[in-house]
Amino acid sequence: MGTVSGFDAYLLLASQSATLGFLSLGVLWSARSTAVYLYVSSIALGALYFGVFAALPPASTDLSTLAMMTVSIASIGGAWLKNMALGLLETPGYPLRRYRRGSVLVFAGAIAAPFLFPESAAFSTIVTFAVIGIMARVCILAFRIGSAIDSVAARVFAAIVGVQLLGLVPLTLGAISSGNSALAPVASQSTVSLSFALGLNMINIALFIALVLDINVRQRKIAQEELVTLEVARSRAHEREMLLADMHDGLGSQISTARMRVERGEMSQTDVASLLRECSADLHLMVDTLREQNDNLESALVDYKTRIERRIVEHGIGLSWSVQLAGAPPMAARRMLQVLRVIQEAITNAIRHAGAKEICVAVRYLGDRNYAVNIEDDGTGIADEVSPGRGLSNMRRRARELGGSLDIRRRVGGRGTEVVLSFEDRPV
């Protein structure tokens, strides 16, 4: 088995750390994340750590005070920066200034360590266990992130860091018991152990990059969901504003006009009762379309049929009702209201003017957002030449608002009237 000198081994490790730091910064540059910058800075400190040992004379195990300070800052500071990076990834909105006091204490302790523990063994013990303690928190943070966003990369990252820590503890205790420095460089390393160390560094960086990308994907998904929710809320608010405007211009105007006619004595009690029934029916339609659960035409038609069926039966008229809306997409509340009003007007005309005994309503979804609405009765039938009254004019206006067409004609055979509404429900 080949060996690599201590100088070459640490030079390779320092070079790899510097290279991986630049590469990870390039890959994650678009993230513009403080957490990424902190983690890359920790990698740079790792390169400094290995560089210190690469700069030592061959076979030397003694560190100068300056070298000890550099090693202490690089190892403890690097671990602390990783801790800050993972903390910000777990809680992106957490203020960076909250880490200020902890950072001052950590780096002050790293600087003071060589002076407080000048002996190599004591210094090595303190620094090593400080790094183990901080990296244990990094491991916990990575595991929590992985559990929160269901990230495999975060969990594997936490597992690898945990295994490294578990392996480091007995090695440190062994070095202490033998009187050696746990931080002292080795004279040489096998190519296998060096390759393993280099490979593990690459895996750790790759997992961190994958973790950041997982978090960014999740944040974009959340942002997209929030945007969709906001757009839906805006759309519903707009629909309600349009419905209220329709209520003011239609129902409000109708009641206002009726009030003035009543005050002038131009309406009989029967006319007033009829008008109130119309207003009540119109108000019910608006309330139904404003309900949150009525996000599709089928449910609105069910509510409408339930409400008018008794009235039709009271007039001795039979009602046939057919709804085929399988696969139909949700429809805006105001458009549903226009459809229901066309049906309402056609049924009212059949009851009032046609002397009908049977009314048939059929609503079909033809696919590709196209609908067909048929209302037929077996009454006297519409005249060949009829002046368009308010009811017919309103029906045609509503068909135009739907962007569709309205055809009112005699039924085949000459008896009864057929109202055909065809439209495409174009998304707004």
Strands 358-367 and 318-324: parallel
Position 333 in a domain: yes
Task: Report the CATH number at residue 318.
Answer: 3.30.565.10
175 and 324 part of one domain: no
Confidence tier at 389 by pLDDT (50, 70, 90): low
Which of 174, 209, 227 marks a domain boundary?
227
Distance CA 316, CA 238 (A): 41
Range of the domain at 350: 293-424
Name, of 30-44, 55-69, 382-396, the range with top average pLDDT: 30-44
Q: pLDDT tens-digit profile of 153-163?
A: 888 988 888 88
Same domain, 223 and 300: no
* pLDDT exceeds cutoff 80 at 36: yes
Clarify whether residues 43 and 160 are in a common domain. Answer: yes
52 and 155 share one domain? yes
SS3 label, residue 9: helix
Do the Cβ atoms of 73 and 123 come closer than 8 Å?
A: no
List the Cα angle 198/204/207 in 5-degree steps: 140
SS3 content of the chain, % helix, strand, coil (to 5): 70, 10, 20
Domain boundary among 209, 227, 245: 227
pLDDT at 194: 66
Q: Are residues 175 and 312 in the same domain?
A: no
Residue 28 Cα to chain centre, angstroms: 22
* Number of compact structural domains in the chain: 2
Do 103 and 197 belong to one domain? yes
141 lies in some domain = yes
In angstroms, the CA 351 to CA 347 distance is 6
Q: Does 96 share its domain with 183?
A: yes
Is the same domain home to 118 and 17? Answer: yes
Determine the pLDDT at residue 72.
92
252 located within any domain: no
Distance CA 139, CA 162 (A): 6
* Co-location of 39 and 165 in the same domain: yes
- Three state DSSP letters for 210-229: HHHHHHHHHHHHHHHHHHHH
Cα diameter, the chain: 117
Q: pLDDT value at position 187?
A: 45
CA pair distance 402, 6, nearest whole angstrom: 81
Return the CATH number at 115: 1.20.1070
Q: What is the pLDDT of residues 183-201, one digit of tens each?
A: 554 444 556 566 777 788 8
Instruction: Label residue 286 by pLDDT band (50, 70, 90).
Output: low
Amino acid identity, position 75? S
Query: Which of 203, 227, 251 corresponds to the end of one domain?
Result: 227
Same domain, 166 and 310: no
Same domain, 23 and 125: yes
Same domain, 351 and 218: no
